Chains A and B, each alone.
Chain A
Amino acid sequence: MIEVCDIAKAYRVRGESLAVLRGTSATIEAGAFAAICGASGCGKSTLLLILGGLLQPDCGEVTVAGEALYALSPERRALTRAQVMGYVFQRFHLIPYLTVEENIRAAAIALSRSDDPARVEELMQHFQIENRRHHLPGELSVGEQQRTALARSLYNRPKVLLADEPTGNLDPENEEIVLKAFDEFTEAGGTVVMVTHHPDAAQRADKRWWIRDGMLVEEQN
């Protein structure tokens, strides 16, 4: 489902090159729940952005659902992302002037498609935010924001869900809600890639990858 082929990425900081990923490859099958682990600053978020088609790698290619992302034009890539992927950011990035309900619907803004009220309703109920539907992000607790971001990422019924530290700031109860959602998503055939440094959360995944010295290393049980 997700194929990472010889990806390298270096950041340029004041003229100096900081190599984060150094030509690493991996394959994540459809229906898998994969966790990406590693020390802070090792490049987990960088990898996830590349998987999500948001960050052009210096070399290599990423294939998601059969589409070689970086062979596409930026517009096509954005469209593919909206159709195939859901992305949950480390800091949620809800649109501050849209209500919970509108934030969820905003996932479809790039797809010229009419709103799906039943889907919004279903997601809000599932994540227990239906009584916050008219609240703006600034009026939500962190857990509620996270659940809204999760609902948004699922709104277009993606095949792949990319989540960056989705449980990072959550209490156990909320963490459980999120992880359960991932379980359900994979059970329904979706693929989850979750970045985390929570050992408990990582244990819920059926595959764990570690980033060490810019390379992806699969954990062998």
Chain B
Amino acid sequence: MVVRDLFVRELRYRPGGFLLGLVAVTAVAASIVGARGFLAGHDADTVALVVALEERAADRMAQMRDDARVFSKSLGFNILLLPEEQDSGALYAENRSTHFFTRAQVAALGRAKFATLNHLLPMLRHRVRWETYGGDVVLVGVEGEIYIKSPSFQKPIEARIEQGTAHVGDALAQRLALNPGDRFTLLGETFTVGRIQPQSASVDDITLLMNLADVQRLSGYADKVTGILALSCNCAAGDLDPIRQEVGRVLSGVQIVEFAVRARARQRARDAIAESTRAEMEDLKASRTALRAQVGHFATLLVSLVVTGAVVFLAVLTSLGVRERRVEMAMLRALGVGSGAVVGLVLARSALTGVAGGVLGCGVGWMAVRLMAGSAIVVTTGFMLTVVGAALLVALFASAWPAWRAARTDPALILNQE
């Protein structure tokens, strides 16, 4: 017979106190793991909400992009830089360019870092006769990408148009029965249909949007552009003076034209969406952060209360247990079992309560989190091991005093009196 046998026999003989302690520790550990899982779930929800909001904003932006595909003369831009001598009548009524920027001028403008302008896009606009169509069509050539301009979204709305590709106006496509991918001949060259532009009841319906180099070649204006499209930043509508001043410092003889409301409105709408999305996001984040803090505080409070309660409960339970067993413990000591071993018996019981309760509680808490929050929420093994370790320490802490008292009482007095 060794002291370990006593431990096992005793546990089997009086499982009640042990089970009560086990239930208490299990409940505490489960509530801690549960709280942790719940908070993790809250964080995950926050991320999901933010992502959803971002996606919704992106969707709205995408709709705006489709809008922007209705390329008017402005291609979604609101400012056009033209050579001063350009004949407005010829350009607007006949789609005929009378004067051009040279390559050097374009390069000079492109290099300049304008504070008032964004996304400078060289454009050549020229009317030609297309025999296959049986009438005049407008060629618009651009190079590079076309951007949506907004504080937070800098996505290209229009990829670079490759050479040999043309986006075809609706009226042309109707008449010639063109579909994306079809090939057609224009002024002796073969092109592929990139996209059919939506109907716009404007000159766009008989426009071919192409790569700048193609239009320069077809129109015979090598290295020339009609003008440069740009987006103005933060300018009050109608007030073009700041732009004029800035551009004037780089290049003289430039007239600056503002497209009417449509482009501007579109830009405003984009900015508004971006702005409202950002505001909404900030609101969401702020409220979620506040809620998280609240829930976190509540969880901390709850867990502290539960842990304190458990410590008291375990201490009382162990005290009662020691009291109930004082005679037999005195007898064991009379039989020569050292007081260290007697303390060991008390502490071993508590340690088992702590570890078993911790493990059980982690299991229960984990299951609860899974059932309520789904499998996405994980409470890490590391955290659960910490909980088990803490449960062990708490259980030992709670029984330290009763165990110490058990070791101190004089067995002789108990054995003579009880």
Contact = CB atoms under 8 A, between A and B. Distances in A.
Contacts of B9: 97-98, 102
Nearest to B2: A109
Contact of B337 (A94, A109, A136): A109
Interface string A77-110: 0110110000101110111111000100111111
Q: How large is the interface on A (under 10, 10 to 19, 20 to 34, 35 or more residues)?
A: 20 to 34
Contacts of B334: 52, 54, 81, 87, 93
Contacts of A90: 416
Contact of B327 (A52, A93, A102): A93
Nearest to B328: A95
Nearest to A137: B328
Interface stretch (B10-18, B207-215, B396-404): B10-18
A75 B341 CA distance: 12
Considering residues B3, B6, B328, B416, which has the most beta carbons from chain A within 10 angstroms of its beta carbon? B416
A45 interface: yes
Contact of B12 (A94, A97, A102): A97
Contacts of B327: 93
A115 interface: yes
Contacts of B241: none
Interface string B372-393: 0000000000000000000000
Contacts of B292: none
Interface in B1-45: 1-3, 5-6, 9-10, 12-14
Nearest to A46: B416
A40 to B, nearest CB: 13
A96 B328 contact: yes
Considering residues A81, A87, A96, which has the most beta carbons from chain B within 10 angstroms of its beta carbon? A96
Given A95-B328, A96-B13, A107 B335 contact: yes
Contact of B415 (A81, A89, A105, A108): A89
Interface string B327-364: 11011111111100000000000000000000000000
B336 A78 contact: yes
B411 A109 contact: no
B338 A75 contact: yes
B418 A91 contact: yes
A68 B70 CA distance: 113
B14 to A, nearest CB: 7
A60 to B, nearest CB: 16
A28 interface: no
Chain A interface helix/strand/loop/mixed: loop
B1 A109 contact: yes
A115 B1 contact: yes
Contacts of B410: 55
Contacts of B222: none
Nearest to B329: A95
Contacts of B411: 54
Contacts of B14: 97
B260 interface: no
Given A95-B328, A97-B14, A109-B3, A54 B335 contact: no
A106 B335 contact: yes
B412 A110 contact: no
B416 A109 contact: no
Nearest to A97: B13
Contacts of B13: 96-97, 136
B13 to A, nearest CB: 3
A194 B23 CA distance: 48
A110 B336 contact: yes
A102 B1 contact: yes
* Top 9 A-B residue pairs of the complex, sorted by shortest distance between their CB atoms: A110-B336, A97-B13, A55-B412, A82-B336, A54-B412, A78-B336, A93-B331, A105-B1, A97-B9
5 contacts: A94-B331, A97-B13, A107-B335, A109-B335, A111-B336
Given A89-B331, A109-B335, A109-B337, 12 more contacts: A45-B416, A49-B415, A52-B334, A89-B415, A91-B418, A93-B328, A93-B330, A95-B331, A106-B335, A109-B6, A109-B332, A111-B336
